[in-house]
Structure formats: C-alpha cells, structure tokens
Amino acid sequence: MTGSTLMSLVTALMSLWGFPLGQAYMFVDLSHVQNMTTLYWPGVPTFNRTIVAAGTSANGIWIEVGAFSSGEHGGTHIDVPRHFIENGMDLKDFPLERTVAEGVVIDCSAEAERNADYAVTKEKIEQWEEKHGRIPNEAAVLFRFGYAKKFWEPEKYLNTQQLDDATTYHFPSVSLEAVKWLVKSRNLKMIGMDVPSPDPPTDLTYPVHRLVLPLNIMIMENVNIVPSLPPRNFRLHAAPIRIENGTGVQTRIYAMLYERMNDGSPRLSSPLFVSFVVCLSLVSAVVKIISQ
C-alpha cells in the first residue's frame, strides 16, 4: 500500500466518521433584501442606490458601477458596542471570532401570535432546553417570533398605523432576566431575533442592548428567521464589513446546517474518533515496516 492510497483511505474513513473535512453543508439565508423599501427606524436615512455608470466600454465590455447610502441600522443588520457606548468598540475592531457560533432557534411564535408585547422569559428557555437539550456555551441564540414573514408589511410588523412614530410600535422582545441568564449560565456569544430589537419599543432604557453590547455580544436585528431553520445543529455566520467608527451595519446573516448531528463539542475530542486515529497510525506504521 503506498502512502497516497493510505491517505485517501484515511480521508474516506474520516468522512464516514463525520469529521468536518470536506463536509457537505446546507446554506440557509437569514437576511432580508436591501432596497428602497427596506424598513428603517424613523429618522434614520433609508437605503438608496443609484447607478454611477452603466454601459458598454469602447472595446465592447459591459461595465456597471453603483453607489449606495443608508443609515447603519436598517433591515437585517447587527449592532456592535459603539451603538450604546461612547467611543466603544466599532465595526473596524469587532473581533471576527465573535461573528461565528453554534446556532439555536427558540421558537416563540405561538406566544407572539397571542400577544404582540410578549417578552421571552427564562422559563421559556428552560422549556426549550428540556425538549432540545442544553444550549451550547458561546452560542448564537435566535428568537423566532414568526415576524419575518411580515417584514415587508411594516404596519403588521410593527403593529401600528403610525409608522413615523416609534412610540406607537409593538413587537415581541426578550426579557432582561432571560438574557442575563443566557449570559451568566451559557456564556452567550450572539443574540438575534426576527423583530427590530431585543428590547420592547416602549422601553427607552434599552436594557438588553446595555447589558450585552459592553460584553462584545453582537445583536442581530430583523433577522429573516425562516421556519425551515432547525432548532439546533447549525453554525451561524454574521460577519459585518469593517466601517471605521461604525456602530452597526447591514449584514448577510446565514446558517450552515450540519449534515450530521453535532452536540456542539469539538469532533476531534470524540473518544471514537481518537481511537480510530490511533488504530490508523498503527496500521500505517506496520505498512511502513512491511514495505521496507
């Protein structure tokens, strides 16, 4: 057996074992489109794109260049510490390792359907864990209120007839108590929801923003949490562009669904996998000795 045949055997067996090398993932987009009608908070400049140049160049090549402008907090976007901390950490310095995490979705759509002012409790999260298992440490926790489907109908999304007056808005939120528990007991890394904020629009003290942002916990707002996203077993990505002094920005948020079950522990530490690697090393040593 040559070295390269042995290596292909190792790779083939590794893929059977669920080792992440070359693993197939399914991608789920969790971002709403940015265009002229994308929802922005009143007073924040909305998204605007214009065409700077579009046409066929002298040598027959089509070239188009656009320009866009927008507020930092509109549509599917993230918040970083500087949003609520004077001179706090901006988008330029926000650590890349804080933008990827094991994801879970806590479905609160039944509660939100009954009550537009519903606030997720710690008990609700504990019930979720009883059913789906422990939330991994340093996870991205998404709260699904079933609001993503109403995103393009702002009166329904915000439960108001007065879109220019944010004090009339109603949408579900996450209680400070629940988020405190996630931070303390599960070392929360990222938090997201399919509404404009984790805080209720009536609370102008922004308790959840002020708790998590100083801890470098990213907030993901207006996330398009589609019903097909499973309760767990996916990796969430939300890497923003590096705007100097930026407080938040539209972000392509997406999930990569694992092909096989993953309880959040690194696969390399699985005892089965370790014994498998040890056996293979022995086999390869024996092959080497025989072929000498």
Is residue 143 within 8 A of residue 174, CB to CB? The reply is: yes
Q: What one-character DSSP code corresponds to residue 198?
A: S
The verdict on 79 binding Zn ion (CB under 5 A) reads yes
Tokens of 79: 């918040």
CB of 83 to Zn ion, least distance (A): 6
Contacted entry of ligand NAG, Zn ion, none for residue 82, CB cut-off 5 to 8 Å set by kind? none
Q: What is the dihedral of CA 243, 248, 252, 255, to 10 degrees?
A: 130
CB of 245 to ligand NAG, least distance (A): 4
Is residue 255 within 8 A of residue 236, CB to CB? The reply is: yes
Scanning 89-97, 209-217, 224-232, 247-255 for contacts with Zn ion by CB under 5 A, the matching segment is: 247-255
Q: Which residues bind ligand NAG (CB under 6 A)?
A: 33, 35-37, 48, 50, 152, 244-245
Contacted entry of Zn ion, ligand NAG, none for residue 248, CB cut-off 5 to 8 Å set by kind? Zn ion
Element (H, E) at 14: helix 3-17
Query: Coil, helix or strand for 27?
Result: strand
Is residue 221 within 8 A of residue 73, CB to CB? The reply is: yes
CB of 101 to ligand NAG, least distance (A): 28
CB of 189 to ligand NAG, least distance (A): 27
CB of 36 to ligand NAG, least distance (A): 4
Residue (157 or 258) nearer to ligand NAG, CB = 157
Farthest-apart Cα atoms in the chain, separation? 83
Closest CA to 90 of 251, 246, 249: 246
Residue (228 or 291) nearer to ligand NAG, CB = 228
Residue (94 or 128) nearer to ligand NAG, CB = 94
Residue (1 or 241) nearer to Zn ion, CB = 241
Q: How many CB atoms lie within 10 A of CB 286?
A: 10
Binding mask 203-232 for Zn ion (x = CB under 5 A): ------------------x-----------
Residue with tokens 């988020």: 179
Residues that bind Zn ion (CB under 5 A): 73, 79, 221, 248
